[in-house]
Structure 1
């Protein structure tokens, strides 16, 4: 891929505690929904690459799982994936929620950042929820703990200051080639994104008992009888029969609503009409079984 003189490109990791808005920020920067969003912690389980391209350069964002104290094999893998990413990128965005106090999770991340030479930006997210005067004490507190290359306040949800953040990011990227075509916004296959969109709707609609126990596997994608129709078969896995009952709902209404909302997003992704067939199956204690985690795609190859 040809690029002009002084063209810049590089990889940027987003890191932070669970639920600080990393996925929302990444989607806002690339202008497309490539990472799922939910108010449930630990939504992101895989490294999701999103791609922003303009005339000056190309930024490839890696949204890492939120760093937390792991309680399962899945949790340990999520944290390992997040920390491994720090050594593989040109720039790190440490995202915090300015409505939350600095906590043990933030301190742990800062300790890990001291082991890397990569420039780190402090991203103050959710500034729309606080008065501007409340930002200065937060900035001063974090400045005493780490020497950040830049400190940028944003509202990922509303898009406030995101354009400025992109401009600053480009200044820090090295000169390099354009890795992906201009119109490409992610390097994940459609099958992965479809599964994530189904999981997002399940997370949003089910109770707190279910989310951490949900995995989605897209079993088959096939053409429909008409050229403009795609047929998707997918399975939602849970750990207990009681969770299966919640996801299906009375007379199947919950599963129907999950399917309706997911179908709308997937149709926008594919640009085609969609028939979505969903099943719910129990796979006991799957979060602690490495063979199943690999089958579900949560363990990356070493």
Structure 2
């Protein structure tokens, strides 16, 4: 997927592959969505919202930016967690530049230092301090910038607020310096390589994460079983299975008199209609698959395939 070195002068187009990395909840998915201008990654305040590598594509004239939004790195507790961590570290090796996001405050944790170590071997990187809207004193931001520069792995340190869309546009210039001459890998009007079915599944998972209490949503997987346009109409029929790990969780996902499932499905349908540009008939069922997060076969079945190294 990454650019081979083309014959100079052969192309008038170029592309830059960017790994968006960092600890959970630092704003990777929010920044990806903002730069792409479309919702390609689901966003909640809970860690581990992004489970697989999601690609956002922005084409500006001859230059195509390909953002790989990776799972936040954390200590893995099961096979799904291990795969998520591997996805983040593998992405560093796959790209033209890594863009690592940081909070303005707090000590760098162990998983962040693991990524910094990986960057020492993994090609160029820039640092982005997000959430500048939370900075109390400009001197705090300067101190953080100095701390990141001192790590010796970042070409530059940028400061942005994704929430206020402040200084985010400057990242396009920053990333364009790492572009490689060659063909565009995606259609110029594409904004993601995720199939529509996967986008639907992710949106449903986002709503479950938003509406439910902490523990259960990580134990759910969403699989789209049917995605069919009705001939002669602007209506798509979508059937979805929501899998959880325990019978007790199933009851919670459905809710009293089906209220929770209805709430999740209704909010998801609104989002789906927006990005599909048509009406959606969404049917959701809840099923139990015990301990699927530790079952290799089910992880593959539910779409958490190991990324082949390119």
Q: What TM-score does the superposition give when structure 2 sets the normalisation length?
A: 0.92
- Partner of residue 147 from structure 2, selected from 141, 154, 169: 141
Per-residue Cα deviation, 1:43-102 (whole angstroms, up to 9, x for no partner): 111111110111140010101111111110111111111111111100100111224432
Structure 1 portions without partners, runs of 5+: none
Does residue 276 (structure 1) correspond to residue 282 (structure 2)? The answer is yes
Structure 1 residue 180: Cα displacement: 1.6
Cα distance change, pair 4–213 in 1 and its aligned pair in 2 (3 A) = same
Q: How does 1:1-302 map to 2 (within 5 A)?
A: 7-116=13-122, 118-131=123-136, 132-224=138-230, 227-300=233-306, 302=308
Instruction: Give the Cα separation in 2 of the matches to 1:163 and 1:46.
Output: 26
Query: How far apart are 1:111 and its partner, in Å?
Result: 1.4
Unaligned runs of 5+ in 2: 1-8
Provide the C-alpha distance between the structure 1 equivalents of 2:53 and 2:307, rounded to a whole number of angstroms.
13
Shift of the 35–4 alpha-carbon distance from structure 1 to 2, 3 Å rule, reads farther
On the 8 A contact 2:105/2:144 being kept in 1, the answer is: no
- Aligned match of 2:4: none
Is the 1:28–1:157 contact (alpha carbons within 8 Å) kept by the matching residues of 2? no
Deviation at 1:120, TM superposition (A): 0.4
Identify which range, 88-97 or 99-108, moves more after superposition: 99-108
Task: Return closer, same or farther for 1:226/1:56 CA change in 2, 3 Å cut-off.
Answer: closer
Matched pairs, number: 299
TM-score of the aligned structures, taking structure 1 as reference length:
0.95
CA RMSD in angstroms, aligned pairs only: 1.7
Contact 1:234 1:277 in 2 (8 A): yes
Moved over 6 A (4+): none
